Amino acid sequence: MTAWIDRRALDLFAIEHPLLLAPMAGSGGSALAIAVARAGGLGAIPCASLSLDTIDAEVRTFRAAAPGSRINLNFFAHTPVSPTDDMTRRWLDRLAPYFAEFCVDVATLPKAGGRAPFDAAMCSLVSDLRPEVVSFHFGLPDDVLLDRVKATGAIVIASATTVAEGRWLQDRGCDAVIAQGYEAGGHRGNFLTDDMATQPGSIALVPQMVDALTVPVIAAGGIVDGRAMAAGLCLGASAVQLGTAFLLADEATSVTSHRNALRTARDDNTAVTNVLTGRPARGVVNRIMRELGVLSTDPLPFPLAGGPLTPLRAATEPDGLGDFQPLWSGQSGALAREAGAAQIVADVVEQAARLLRL
């Protein structure tokens, strides 16, 4: 067994290796969580776009297949914004050329479904299911809900994109903080700032976060192989969180167009965009990002911007195109492997341990 030097995250999560699976809506469910947990890491279930029944079923599936392993249930903590008619009109106007191109009837556009913030019903489910770890993205829920979660005995962790956000999370009782570097795929967890121009990369963020906090720091962003895992631990992180590394795993549920895009991923073809969901998130640059500009003032607030894209996505996705859909990936997508998740964990961990001479 590898003698990892910093045992804080290992003890907190009761894991063999300091490696967490990033919760990835649409790409990772119980199967991926089970594989990572069995391989000695911490599994996660992304719950923000799941129904309560599905969350319940996913947890039961996980516990049956990985008995004794802790599970991390991930929720969003954004504050929903009701758009004005002007905001809606501006976004639909911006998309009008696409609706014309794909013969979409604007009268039939869906609202953005899913991606609800953590609420009382989800909190009750947490009380029932008693997940050992609950994680939040986009800040934390209000004090009443947070207190209820903590009263279940759950370890609470959350993402910070700056040291200021990390301090905020620690001050509110987080047991560990995920330092999400700018390289990370998917939604940025930012909640105290909207300024993408000043977001720090992992090699800068992690050591400054470690210096500022007393709780363990989990490095995330751009970590796909053992070299980057070792780097994250050298930077002072107690563990690393990997998402992109598992997007092409056998157990991942990434759709074909997403997998196709990942196979073309390069160091320099992803960007942080808000045109797909209304919040900044990193993915492989696709047609809508290129044509609207990656960061725009026109999209509806999260998650509503994605609703009107649904028919455009439906019209293009069957051809394997990802022109109008999120192709979430970090900046190291080119290093993601097509293999079983347990093998990915084993290889990443082995390479990191070797580089650290453990």
- List residues near a copy of itself by CB under 8 A: 162-164, 181-183, 193, 195, 197-205, 207-209, 211, 221-223, 225, 227-228, 230-232, 234-236, 266-272, 285, 294-295, 330-332, 334-335, 355-357
Comparison of 12 and 294: residue with beta carbon closer to a copy of itself:
294
Beta bridge partners of 21: 242
Comparison of 12 and 271: residue with beta carbon closer to a copy of itself:
271
Helix (H, G, I), strand (E, B) or coil at 296: coil
Comparison of 1 and 144: residue with beta carbon closer to a copy of itself:
1
Long-range CB pairs of 61-69, under 8 A, 24+ apart, other chains included: 61/30, 61/34, 62/30, 62/33, 62/34, 62/37, 65/30, 65/34, 65/38, 66/33, 66/34, 66/37, 66/38, 69/14, 69/37, 69/38, 69/43
Comparison of 76 and 182: residue with beta carbon closer to a copy of itself:
182
Minimum CB separation of residue 344 from a copy of itself in Å reads 16
Give the strand pairing for 176-180 and 155-160.
parallel
Question: Angle 52-65/120-129 helices, nearest 10 degrees?
Answer: 20
Comparison of 58 and 225: residue with beta carbon closer to a copy of itself:
225
H helical segments located in the chain: 8-13, 30-38, 52-65, 85-101, 120-129, 143-151, 163-171, 202-212, 226-234, 256-263, 287-292, 310-316, 341-355
Minimum CB separation of residue 180 from a copy of itself in Å reads 12
Comparison of 123 and 219: residue with beta carbon closer to a copy of itself:
219
Comparison of 92 and 334: residue with beta carbon closer to a copy of itself:
334
Comparison of 152 and 296: residue with beta carbon closer to a copy of itself:
296
What is the token pair recorded at 36? 């990572």
Tally helices (H) and strands (E) across the chain: 13, 11
Residue 336 has, within 13 A of its CA and on its CB side, a CA count of 31
Minimum CB separation of residue 9 from a copy of itself in Å reads 17
Using alpha carbons, list the distances in angstroms from residue 194 to 106, 161, 163, 178, 295. Answer: 30, 11, 14, 18, 11
Minimum CB separation of residue 352 from a copy of itself in Å reads 8
CB-based contact 215:233 (threshold 8 Å): no
Minimum CB separation of residue 22 from a copy of itself in Å reads 15
Minimum CB separation of residue 235 from a copy of itself in Å reads 5
Minimum CB separation of residue 247 from a copy of itself in Å reads 15
Minimum CB separation of residue 122 from a copy of itself in Å reads 30
